[in-house]
Structure 1
């Protein structure tokens, strides 16, 4: 006996517990707590464009969740196979049952609940549209009248933001800023030998400057809240890149998985010694351990009047970022396999390489994607 998937349709905002604009990291963590409803989840993405690929979570058999490629935010929700009873799905809207095991959603039912709209092969309203096809996209408002059978059965329901739900809009574009993003990091501007400036949602929120050697653990707790985990072990494989080591200062990590950032803090002075930013690239060893941190490495301005210094972004290829940091050949790399300590994890590309520069370390995948940045 399958439990019923009982969800409320909220055009422009979401479906049940799934809210448009939520991060991939948050959604997957939520699904982990709902295994009785979603025992099998497929993750689909383009491995040839792993840093910027849109991601689809397929929650069999009813839901497809589409996430934007850059910010990994939930952009579109697709409800399909409304008649499949394994598990059965019940769809509500403003207190009325649209579809259930006993109620077939038809064209006439949509008109009754949502009112008139333009004629076409699909019925579109702000933030939601109803398709009478199992796959693909109909001709929208160009449909013919002979297709408009009042008893025509709905096969799919799609929910998206009202701001981006236009015929000219990019179906794989980014999500408009919305309240669920509030307090999340919108952008992390990296400055070598200095630290990182964190910009938050909403866009009018004051930024936070975390400086290496200056910002304290208490400062972080006040500004970012307590970390999700405090870890008292440093990865010794990183010490090779630093010429100044105090073996008696073991230090500890503040792990902000929800922001995609770790801070390594001195055990003596309790100031930040290192900052690690995670790209959350699909297929990489740390995928979904951290939320994506949208980082950009800022270079020096060309002159005193230059207010737009050059930057390289998380999705730029390693070769481009390496040349930006140092025009010479890339430095020797250190091989890292994060699955060595995890017996139950196997990945097709588990090995990464660490490249050390003056004040910064890049962790690079076999596909030349920078999956993490460490400042020290």
Structure 2
């Protein structure tokens, strides 16, 4: 028999958060939080649509804690927090306890704590009454013997026998009047995606990666730029790792550099590594700087310590790196290609003539046993490589490198 953890203490803020879970937080950041809370949150189930991963929510179900977290499938940011097992939770609103093993969350008690509001909505098919405040909704089951309700406009709601409904579900959300239409908030200062303006030259941030509050001019990372320029623009990386130069990593070198999008994340030699120690090493091996919170890796030349390649991660569900990076929202300007583009559309946008077919792919299955979701394919064009999920045609990563037109 599995022992359940003690009830999780959470403060509830309408339109913002429940405990450690804040609306708008990227999926990867939430997963890191869950890893750090393993003793309190022992079970996490991830659900998503395998056939159309961009069409339906990504869900993290914390069954032992009575919490369900829903993420927008495209932005991969937290858009809805659902609480469904109130025996597993102790809840507070403005330091007032409204649910615990000692306090029953009734309609009457919640109405007194949260204050007056317009009458809620009764769903006869589900036998549920929903009381909605801005950014938070409370759902109460209505017993059959009390249907139809004679006093829907009377608040607080009570039954003819003098009892009052008990909370069944709670939703915290933002961006809409109703929880079903919740929209994941953007971070403050978000000004747009990472742009590949000219293939073969570099990438451009339309915001300052070092300050989400900043609206400064765009930040450019160009090929050949020294490490100090990248450090000034992006700050210190979260990790540094050596490039895996084993040609057997993919079994073929037909797409030059195709293995870099894999090596950047799977061979982390120094998590949060020391920059000075790396620069003073004196070796000529190329190395990556990993920026997990930006969804990118930057490959430097070990000899010149200059930018050679940039890998942008789509954090595709089913990929072996899923949740390790925040999704890098990028566009290839002039091509109509974005991080959410499918391979069929990408190859049409990239082909030089109407008759030209797609390039020959390099298939990578990571040894066959490490990824239960099947291989990915790398398709190389001058200055850019697309890593595509075989099953869905979604992008897993894009690698850009220096190329003269």
Task: Please tell me the TM-score bracket, short chain as reference.
Answer: 0.7 to 0.9
1:206-217 aligned within 5 A:
206-213=217-224, 215-217=225-227
Ranges in structure 1 where 5+ consecutive residues have no aligned partner:
135-142, 300-309
Give the 3-state SS of the residue equivalent to 1:64 in structure 2: strand
Residue 176 of structure 1, aligned match among 168, 177, 185: 185
8 Å CA contact 1:234–1:250 kept in 2: the answer is: no
Residue 69 of structure 2, aligned match among 59, 65, 70: 65
Match of 1:119 in 2: 119
Q: Distance in 2 between matches of 1:186 and 1:27?
A: 22
Q: Distance in 2 between matches of 1:338 and 1:314?
A: 23
Report the alpha carbon displacement of residue 178 of structure 1 after superposing the two structures with TM: 4.1
1:81-160 aligned within 5 A:
81-83=85-87, 88-120=88-120, 121-133=129-141, 144-145=152-153, 148-149=157-158, 151-160=164-173
Q: Distance in 1 between matches of 2:193 and 2:284?
A: 31
8 Å CA contact 1:177–1:202 kept in 2: the answer is: no
Give the 3-state SS of the residue equivalent to 2:181 in structure 1: coil
Q: Distance in 2 between matches of 1:297 and 1:45?
A: 27
Give the 3-state SS of the residue equivalent to 2:193 in structure 1: strand
- Whether 1:195 aligns to 2:202 is yes
8 Å CA contact 2:141–2:166 kept in 1: the answer is: no
8 Å CA contact 2:320–2:371 kept in 1: the answer is: no
8 Å CA contact 1:78–1:157 kept in 2: the answer is: yes
Change beyond 3 A, Cα 1:242–1:55:
closer
- Whether 1:55 aligns to 2:50 is no
Q: Distance in 2 between matches of 1:273 and 1:32?
A: 33
Give the 3-state SS of the residue equivalent to 2:73 in structure 1: coil
8 Å CA contact 1:41–1:57 kept in 2: the answer is: yes
Give the 3-state SS of the residue equivalent to 1:69 in structure 2: coil
Report the alpha carbon displacement of residue 270 of structure 1 after superposing the two structures with TM: 1.2
8 Å CA contact 1:355–1:362 kept in 2: the answer is: yes
Give the 3-state SS of the residue equivalent to 1:123 in structure 2: strand
Q: Distance in 2 between matches of 1:294 and 1:178?
A: 13
Match of 1:278 in 2: 313
Ranges in structure 2 where 5+ consecutive residues have no aligned partner:
121-128, 143-150, 258-282
Match of 1:362 in 2: 386
Report the alpha carbon displacement of residue 203 of structure 1 after superposing the two structures with TM: 7.3
Report the alpha carbon displacement of residue 123 of structure 1 after superposing the two structures with TM: 1.1
Residue 337 of structure 2, aligned match among 312, 337, 345: 312
8 Å CA contact 1:338–1:350 kept in 2: the answer is: no
- Whether 1:77 aligns to 2:61 is no
8 Å CA contact 1:54–1:172 kept in 2: the answer is: no
1:199-238 aligned within 5 A:
199-200=206-207, 201-202=212-213, 204-213=215-224, 215-234=225-244, 236=247, 237=250
Report the alpha carbon displacement of residue 177 of structure 1 after superposing the two structures with TM: 2.8
Report the alpha carbon displacement of residue 3 of structure 1 after superposing the two structures with TM: 2.2
Match of 1:263 in 2: 298
Give the alignment's TM-score, normalised by structure 2: 0.77
Number of paired residues? 338
Change beyond 3 A, Cα 1:198–1:186:
same
8 Å CA contact 1:68–1:172 kept in 2: the answer is: no
Q: Distance in 2 between matches of 1:241 and 1:354?
A: 7
8 Å CA contact 2:141–2:165 kept in 1: the answer is: no
Report the alpha carbon displacement of residue 202 of structure 1 after superposing the two structures with TM: 4.5
What is the root-mean-square deviation in Å for CA atoms of aligned residues? Answer: 2.5
Give the 3-state SS of the residue equivalent to 2:206 in structure 1: strand
Report the alpha carbon displacement of residue 199 of structure 1 after superposing the two structures with TM: 2.6
Change beyond 3 A, Cα 1:339–1:113:
farther
8 Å CA contact 1:78–1:159 kept in 2: the answer is: yes
Report the alpha carbon displacement of residue 290 of structure 1 after superposing the two structures with TM: 1.4
Report the alpha carbon displacement of residue 262 of structure 1 after superposing the two structures with TM: 0.6
Q: Per-residue displacement from partner, 1:61-89 (whole Å, max 9, x unpaired)?
A: 41011111221111111111213xxxx31
8 Å CA contact 1:185–1:293 kept in 2: the answer is: no
